[in-house]
Chains A and B, each alone.
Chain A
Amino acid sequence: MTAVLLPIFPAHSRLLAEMHRICFVEPWDEAAMGGVLTMPGTSGVLASEPSHGASPERKPAPQGFLLWRTAADEAEVLTLLVLPPYRRTGVAGRLLDHAIDAVRQAGVQAFFLEVASDNAAGRALYSSRHFEQVGMRPRYYRNSIDAIIMKRKI
């Protein structure tokens, strides 16, 4: 079933922090997530199961989310995740396409992101959306993995 995309608000901090904890070794806790969501320029989109697939016993499950920040004519992806059961179903691509449309409407000229050099799935996704490598931060992540800086003109 196709996910529905919903706007994210600071009230979602707890849910997003729980999802982040499932996906990352250095998760953002609820206070940190609240801090991200209330930074000037932060926006977000949440992918959820459609409610018609749910029942009183089974509420629609969140599948993934993407947060980005816009400042003047530039934007950057802050975090993107898809929960394990929903990977390889196109959720990340839909989230990213949504964000690209949103920043375009906001007048953004360039969209940036950082991705771990060993994150093959992430890099393939970004390349498929025409993000190109423009730099690298050596040993940026705690396990000494390089960060690849990517950019897409909007």
Chain B
Amino acid sequence: MNEKANYYLDITGELCPMTFVKTKLAIEKMHTGDTLEVRLKGDEPLRNVPRSVRELGHVIVSVAPEPGESAGGIHRLRIAKA
């Protein structure tokens, strides 16, 4: 779990639907089994990005708030490409 992801993406400055689109474009550049860590902010991407990524068939490895962040704050999402 603490192993570093292969790729990293910060979408804290993006709005829907770019939050998901930027994540999707990043995943498309990866190989099967690679992992992507996505930094996101707010409940809209927290609700929509993992769901849409699952719909593409990829795996949500973990979702966790950054230290000191509230439920609607900045989160780290770990994705494994299927």
- B-contacting residues of A (Cβ < 8 Å)? 26, 28, 31-32, 35-36, 39-40, 69, 78, 114, 137, 140-142
Contacts and interface: CB of A to CB of B under 8 A. Distances in A.
Q: Which of A26, A35, A114 has the most CB of B within 10 A?
A: A35
Nearest to B28: A35
B3 interface: no
B76 interface: no
Interface string B1-34: 0000000000001011110111011000000000
Contact of B17 (A78, A137, A141, A142): A78
A137 B44 CA distance: 10
Task: Give 10 closest A-B pairs by Cβ, nearest first.
Answer: A35-B21, A32-B21, A35-B25, A35-B24, A78-B17, A36-B21, A36-B17, A31-B25, A32-B18, A40-B55
B55 A69 contact: no
B15 A39 contact: no
A39 B17 contact: yes
14 contacts: A32-B22, A32-B25, A35-B21, A35-B22, A35-B25, A39-B20, A39-B21, A39-B24, A40-B52, A40-B55, A69-B17, A78-B17, A114-B16, A142-B13
Q: Which of B15, B52, B55 has the most CB of A within 10 A?
A: B15
Nearest to B43: A137
